Homo-oligomer: A and B are copies of this chain.
Amino acid sequence: MSAAMLSGDDLENALRQIGEERYHHRHPFHHLMRDGKLNRGQVQAWALNRYYYQARIPAKDAYLVARLPTPALRREWRRRIIDHDGESEDTGGIARWLRLTDGLGLDREYVISTKGLLPATRFAVDAYVNFVRDRSLLEAVASCLTEMFSPEIIAERVEGLLKNYDFISRDTLAYFTPRLTQAPTDVAFALAYVKEHADTPEKQALVFDTLRFKCDVLWAQLDALYFAYVEPGLTPPGAFVPGRTAQ
């Protein structure tokens, strides 16, 4: 039985359904964070590991720019590189993420070194960058569609962090504010691209697989954090240990 070709609206609804089931807003680690159930060390571990994801985003986007066929498409996508790398020192998404790790009391050099990373974080993030570099252009573009769901999780995260943790201030959460406007702009383009180019049932199936893959990339990172820092709390050799690793 082969799938039928979906309309643009049905395609979008099917994507939202996948997000509803698989996006990391459903992950227990996110719920602990949102509900104020994490201690400072656990929030540190989250911010330190998530730094690697932030730091690799411009590489992912540059691979995508390299593969887009026209100046107009590349201009559209390169905005994302600029958003993350900034216009100068201490601007852009990566620099804003470092304000968060600073605010959490982590040593900046240690964070940037990625020495304390959970290996599973590195594997998941690298899998994402390699996916964008190596798969079809349609899959590469579709892999950013998780941004359809990010404003909601960011709102929950920011509210939960501010309300529940006295060691977190609005200033240290500066990363998230621009993302609330950047993500919808980015995703509008990607969604339109996917609707236009996924023009067979097979390509639409590929887009769904891609979104599932990308949800896995995000989910696996929270699994690793939960395993290492919540339960059973088995931190792999070499990984960050709250209060103990040189920070």
Taking beta carbons and an 8 Å cutoff, which residues of A are in contact with B?
Answer: 58-60, 62-63, 65-67, 71-72, 74-75, 78, 81-82, 84-89, 92, 94-95, 133
Contact = CB atoms under 8 A, between A and B. Distances in A.
* Integer count of this chain's copies in the complex: 2
- The main secondary structure of chain A at its interface with chain B is helix
Contact of A62 (B63, B85, B87, B92): B63
A88 B82 CA distance: 16
A95 B81 contact: no
A86 B94 CA distance: 25
B66 A92 contact: no
Contacts of A60: 66
A85 B71 contact: yes
Nearest to A58: B74
A66 B67 contact: no
Contact of A71 (B66, B71, B92): B92
A97 to B, nearest CB: 11
A84 B66 CA distance: 13
16 contacts: A58-B65, A58-B66, A58-B74, A59-B65, A59-B66, A59-B67, A62-B62, A62-B74, A63-B66, A65-B65, A65-B81, A66-B133, A71-B84, A74-B85, A75-B86, A75-B88
A94 B71 contact: yes
Given A78-B81, A78-B82, A81-B78, A89 B72 contact: yes
B72 A81 contact: no
